[in-house]
Each structure stands twice: as C-alpha cells, then as structure tokens.
Amino acid sequence: MEKSIFAYQSEPTEYIKSGDSGAIEALIPERFLQRQEPDLPQATEQDVIRHFSRLAGLNYSVDTGFYPLGSCTMKYNPKINEAVADLPGLAGVHPYQDEKSIQGVLELAYGLEQFLLAVSGFQGLTLQPAAGAHGEITGILLIKAYHRLASKKEKRRIILVPDTAHGTNPATAALAGYEVRQVKSDEAGDIDLADLKQNLSPEVAALMLTNPNTLGLFEKNILQVSKMVHEAGALLYGDGANFNALLGLVKPADLGFDVMHFNLHKTFSTPHGGGGPGAGAVGVVEKLIPFLPVPLVKKKGEKFYFDYKVKHSIGKVRSFYGNFLIAVRAYAYFLALGEEGIKKVGRQSILNANYLLRKLKDVYEWPYRRSCMHEFVITPKTGWQVNTLDIAKRIIDYGYHPPTIYFPLIVHEAMMIEPTETETKNTLDEFSAALLSIAQEAQTTPELLKKAPVNSPVGRLDEARAARQLILKYEKAR
C-alpha cells in the first residue's frame, strides 16, 4: 500500500521562504494574503517522483492489459495517432486563428467528415459534439427542429426508447423536452414489433435505437422497424456507440437511420474513460442537413472555409469546432488502416467476441442463445453462491479489468464482455481460462469470491457508501 505524500518526513522544502517572498507578496492584494505557512507535504523531489510513479503504476489501462468493458470499445489506441495529434501545427492551433492560416486544419476536418460519411452512408455531418451523449442531444434537437418546420401544429411529444437502451438515451429525450416511452424487447433480444406498433402514433417524434443493441445482438428486424417508424411520420435515431461492429460491413443510413452519433473515442480509437475527452460526431440524411449546427466545414475549389449560412440551424452546440484533437486521432486512424483495414474492423471484432463466447457459453448462463456481434452478455449459473459483482471483483485478482456489469438492465446479473478486434487469440485464450477458473471457484470456494479482490492494492470497497459519501480530498490527521 502506498503511503500518503504527507507521511514523508524529509527535510522541509523551502522553495519560497517567507522571508524572501516580499517581492511576490507586494503584487498580491492584502485581502488575498494568507499569513500562515501552507500545510505542504515535506517530501524531497525524489520522494515525490517515486511516490507518483508508484501511484501511476497502479493505474489499469488498455496499454497495460485486456480491458473487456462492454459497450465501451476499449480497443488499442495506436501510438501514431498520439504523435500526429501532438504535431505543433495541430496541437498549437488557436481557435481564433484566421481561416486562411488554418487551411490544413479545415482540410483535416473536411477529410474526416468524408471518411465518416463514406462508412455510414449519411449525407451531412457535424464534428462539434464533445461526447456520445452530446451527439444524442444534438441529434434529437435536429429531429425536433425538423418536425417543427414540417408542421406548424407540431404535436410530436414522445420519444420511444427500447428497454435495452443505454441510460443516456432516455435522459437525452427527457432533456430535449420529450416524454419517454419504453418499448419492450422480445424473447430473442430484438425490439418487440408488436409493442413498437402499439406505441407508434402521430405523437411520436422518434425511436432511439442502438444496433447492434446493448445485448450485442444485431436487430434482425431493423428494416421492418425503420419502415414502421417512418410510416408513423417519426424519425429513426441511431445510437452509434456500437458502430464498431458494423464498420466496413453495413452502412447505418442503408438500414433506415435518419441520424446517428458516432463515438469517435470508441470506434475510431482514442484513449477514453474517466470522463473524456471524447467526440460525438453526428451524421444525418439529406433532409436534416438544413438543421445542422453551425459552422459547417465546406470546400470551394481548393479552399476550405466555415459556413455559417445553414438555413434552419439549431445553432452551436459546442464552442469552436469540438474536441478537434480527437478528430485528428480519428483521421490518423482512418489513414493508417486504409479502406481495406477499415473493412476488417467490424468483422474481426465480431469474430473475437464469438470466439470468446463459444469458450464460455456452456459454463456460464447464456441468456440470448444467438451468435453475437462485437460483444455478448453472460451471467453466473443459477445455484452458484456468488453474484456478478463477486465475479467481476475476482477478475481483478487475475490481472484483468472487469467487464461491464449489471447492464443492460433487462438481464438479471448481466456481465457484458467486449473484447474488440485488437486483441490476439492468445489474450482471448488466457482471459477465457481465467473466467473458467473463476467459474470453478464460484462452485468450490465461493467465500473467496465474496472477499475478492484479494491481490490488489485496495480490497473490496463499500461501493454504495463510496458513491454516497464522497470524500474527495485528503484530510491530514491533526
């Protein structure tokens, strides 16, 4: 266990002694001056470096190990992307620079948009939103603006969301002022067509759908679903968080989606987690282009420019042009993989997930007994004296990041595993061996799993208390 930095007892470090700080003090208004010495840790530079290096070594990341966090697409982030995003001409560009001096930046944004349009089949796009959820609210506001313009007596006040949806979907719809209605899934894990039919009405603005859905299953009735939604005068919103599985195989616009957000930080490989930064580009079909946020990046002859003349624009959704350096990484990723490489992403992610599923499906409960897409959901077997949390904690002892747990909500004790296409067969074999061994332990030594993790710097935490009683700063014992 690493001790607190305050526990170091080195000689006091006196970089600014009270006696010789007069010049600085003279610059600070009296009311801001604090007369007593700050309570700083007394550690040498070497102590500090060692302390933080050791702490940094406790972090778990895609660079240090397998990270099968379902729905998060924790794929390897090629280092070339970082090198490109670090180029001074890109990293150092100022948002108020004149268009003439940022032609390369605009060309890159334009080029990325063309790549995204090519793989999705949409006709218009914005790179502004800063995350998937931000893309969702942008997309739903586009839908709202579209319906408003289509009819003066606009009365579409409902958004339909399947029971498998990620929590951000209903939250987005509610934030945009809609009533949220849930649509059930059927026994096969697809959206229930009868329930959808019953819920569709002239009051429905859109259905928000994730495909593959959060069970890792391809919505096999998607063409029928989009037909039903469109016949009701509603639009089909695509949550593109799982787009990785479709990449190079299917274009969402061909499935009938009218608008979809991309999680650039997932599908197009950017380090993410812990709150960002991300990018939630939004692609749209032709009829929604007049509503896109301003500015759009356009090209005239050899010149690139920002176009603010978007007729019914919903306005800006983010300062300047979004998290641009995430777009740089995504662009580098496209260029590095090339057309042939991009085509293999979806295929390989599906193959990896199915390979892992086949190894685990007879030992764990497998609620939806279909081939999966890029991820799958399993649960502990009935009769085991352990729950999903115990298994997830035990996975830490085996040296892995646990999968997503207790999501999607419709599967009791869900464990959602997404290996991604960047993992080798070796890693998948080792991880499945760990899960099979944990399954054995669940039946022979359940008390061990109840205590897990036992080999980590921090043991089992009281998670409810940790979430409810936040203590975010170190309080030195007096």
Beta pairing class for 282-284 and 124-126? antiparallel
AA letter at 440: Q
Residues contacting ligand PLP: total by CB under 6 A: 14
Min CB(113)–ligand PLP separation in Å = 19
Whether the Cβ atoms of residue 123 and residue 284 lie closer than 8 Å to each other: yes
Whether the Cβ atoms of residue 442 and residue 391 lie closer than 8 Å to each other: yes
Strands (E), 10-166: 124-126, 158-162
- How many degrees, rounded to 5, is the angle at CA 414 between CA 411 and CA 179? 50
Which residue, 191 or 232, has its beta carbon nearer to ligand PLP? 191
Supply the Cα-derived Rg of the chain in whole angstroms. Answer: 26
Whether the upstream peptide bond of residue 403 has omega within 30° of 0, thus cis, is no
Binding-site member from 84, 106, 133, 204 for ligand PLP (CB under 6 A): 133
Binding to ligand PLP by CB under 6 A, coded x per residue (else -) over 14-53, reads ----------------------------------------
CA 12 vs CA 25, 39, 159, 373, 440: distances in Å: 21, 11, 62, 58, 54
Considering only residues 112-131, where is the footprint of ligand PLP by CB under 6 A? Answer: 131
| 210: contact with ligand PLP by CB under 6 A | yes
Q: How far is CA 23 from the centre of its chain?
A: 48
Backbone angles phi, psi at 368, to 5 degrees: -110, 100
Binding-site member from 68, 124, 132, 403 for ligand PLP (CB under 6 A): 132
Report the distance separating Cα 188 and Cα 361, nearest Å.
16
Binding-site member from 168, 185, 348, 420 for ligand PLP (CB under 6 A): 168
Chain residue at closest Cβ approach to ligand PLP: 132
| 375: contact with ligand PLP by CB under 6 A | no
Binding-site member from 214, 269, 323, 349 for ligand PLP (CB under 6 A): 214
Binding to ligand PLP by CB under 6 A, coded x per residue (else -) over 55-74, reads ----------------xx--
Q: Which helix (H) or strand (E) holds 296?
A: strand 296-300
Which residue, 168 or 313, has its beta carbon nearer to ligand PLP? 168
Min CB(242)–ligand PLP separation in Å = 6
Considering only residues 238-297, where is the footprint of ligand PLP by CB under 6 A? Answer: 239, 241, 263, 278, 280
Question: Which spans of this chain sit near ligand PLP (rule: CB under 6 A)?
Answer: 71-72, 131-133, 166, 168, 210, 214, 239, 241, 263, 278, 280
